[in-house]
């Protein structure tokens, strides 16, 4: 599989990154089967693996650790912190207190003494960004972390973090992990141009839009998308909402476009993300071996300009059909911030 530079780090990563959110209690509960899927991805040329402490409450990291035994040095391993890990209010967020504990927990579960990429899962406006950067800098200088990144940061905070790193002698964030797919294109407005300006790697998640671009949700489908797991994300999947009806209509048109181009919808969706010059490596998140194989098949697909132009007609550049999927909502829009 073709390798691409991870920003300006000098590290080379596969053009697809294996996401592991679906390994463990949230998805494939059989550890042996999960490990087989991981090994198949590695054998196909993927050398970039992304996980997070919160995935199945640490179980995903444990599975990844088992799968990478004997192969660790050949893999660029990334994990994330920030999301709540239990009821303790200090076991979450971007504080030095939590970062120093969470990194040790992740290293233990992953069975390694260093992380190639350690990412904050979301921006924490309640914590001084320099507090977070200071703690992460100490981890890099201690050799526990090679590089640091963030996920779903607004463009203004990306700029602030780069400024802080230069002004105060901190390690700088070298990657951003945003949501990005044909139906969720908001980051084309500012996040992607800012990442390019600072030479950052971009490793977007959800290239299949949570299944909307897998061919799973069609107008004539017998079952709607409201599985038990998705009821927690009703704003994104409830078909009674007009914005989700618009997504369904777009998915229908995209499926026809893929068929006309001799592709599967999955290939069209992943190839679209791969084509943007700011993108390093989209994160695929298979739950089964069949899922993995269908997504690997997109790695070498190159969309023509005609197909890209047609995609832009279906979903305009910079547009997210359902804003609930942008991943970040400004705290300034919360009711408490708007009341006089």
pTM of the predicted model as reported, rounded to 2 decimal places: 0.94
- For residue 47, what pLDDT is reported? 98
Is 55 among the catalytic positions?
A: yes
* Bridge partner residues of 283 (DSSP): 17
| SS3 labels along 127-166 | CCHHHHHHHHHHHHHCCCEEEEEEECCCHHHHHHHHHHHH
From 55, 118, 205, 217, active-site residue: 55
Find out whether 177 and 207 touch, Cβ atoms under 8 Å.
no
- For residue 340, what pLDDT is reported? 67
- For residue 230, what pLDDT is reported? 54
Q: Which of 164, 195, 158, 201 is nearest to 14 (CA)?
A: 201
| pLDDT block averages, 10 residues each, the chain of length 340 | 97 98 96 98 98 97 98 97 96 97 98 98 94 98 98 97 97 98 98 98 97 80 48 76 94 97 98 98 97 96 98 98 90 84
Quickly count: other Cβ atoms within 10 Å of residue 255's Cβ.
Answer: 17
Find out whether 120 and 102 touch, Cβ atoms under 8 Å.
no
- For residue 220, what pLDDT is reported? 61
Q: What range does the domain containing 329 cover?
A: 3-338
Which sign does the torsion angle of CA 192, 193, 196, 197 carry? Answer: negative
SS3 205: strand
- What Å distances lie between residue 120 and 82, 92, 96, 164, 201, CA to CA? 6, 11, 12, 16, 15
- For residue 233, what pLDDT is reported? 67
Which CATH number goes with the domain that contains 302?
Answer: 3.20.20.100
- For residue 222, what pLDDT is reported? 45
Number of domains in the chain: 1
Quickly count: other Cβ atoms within 10 Å of residue 35's Cβ.
Answer: 18
Euclidean distance between CA atoms 237 and 211, whole angstroms: 10
- For residue 171, what pLDDT is reported? 98
Euclidean distance between CA atoms 171 and 165, whole angstroms: 6
Euclidean distance between CA atoms 85 and 93, whole angstroms: 10
């Amino acid at each position: 599989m073709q390798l691409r530079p991870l920003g300006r780090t000098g590290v080379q990563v596969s053009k697809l990154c294996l996401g592991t959110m679906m390994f463990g209690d949230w998805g494939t509960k059989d550890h042996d089967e999960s490990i087989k899927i991981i090994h198949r991805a590695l054998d196909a040329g993927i050398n970039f693996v992304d996980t997070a402490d919160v995935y199945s409450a640490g179980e995903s990291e444990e599975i990844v650790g088992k799968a990478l035994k004997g192969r660790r040095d050949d893999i660029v391993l990334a994990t994330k912190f920030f999301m709540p890990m239990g009821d303790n209010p200090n076991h979450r967020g971007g504080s030095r207190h939590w970062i120093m504990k969470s990194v040790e927990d992740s290293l233990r579960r992953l069975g390694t003494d260093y992380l190639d990429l350690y990412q904050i899962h979301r921006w924490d406006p309640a914590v001084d960004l320099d507090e977070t950067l200071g703690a992460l800098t100490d981890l890099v200088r201690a050799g526990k972390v090679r590089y640091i990144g963030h996920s779903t940061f607004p463009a203004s905070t990306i700029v602030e973090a780069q400024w802080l790193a230069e002004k105060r002698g901190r390690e700088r964030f070298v990657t951003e992990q945003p949501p990005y797919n044909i139906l969720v294109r908001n980051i084309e407005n500012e996040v992607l141009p800012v990442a390019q300006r600072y030479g950052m790697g971009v490793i977007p998640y959800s290239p299949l839009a949570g299944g909307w671009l897998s061919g799973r949700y069609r107008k004539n489908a017998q079952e709607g998308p409201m599985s038990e797991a998705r009821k927690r994300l009703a704003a994104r999947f409830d078909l009674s909402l007009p914005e989700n009806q618009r997504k369904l209509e777009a998915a229908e048109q995209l499926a026809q476009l893929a068929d006309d181009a001799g592709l599967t919808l999955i290939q069209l969706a992943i190839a679209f993300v791969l084509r943007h010059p700011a993108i390093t490596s989209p994160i695929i998140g298979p739950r089964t071996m069949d899922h993995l194989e269908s997504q690997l098949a997109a790695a070498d697909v190159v969309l023509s300009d005609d197909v890209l132009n047609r995609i832009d007609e279906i979903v305009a550049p910079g547009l997210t059909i359902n804003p609930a999927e942008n991943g970040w909502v400004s705290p300034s829009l919360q009711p408490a911030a708007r009341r006089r």
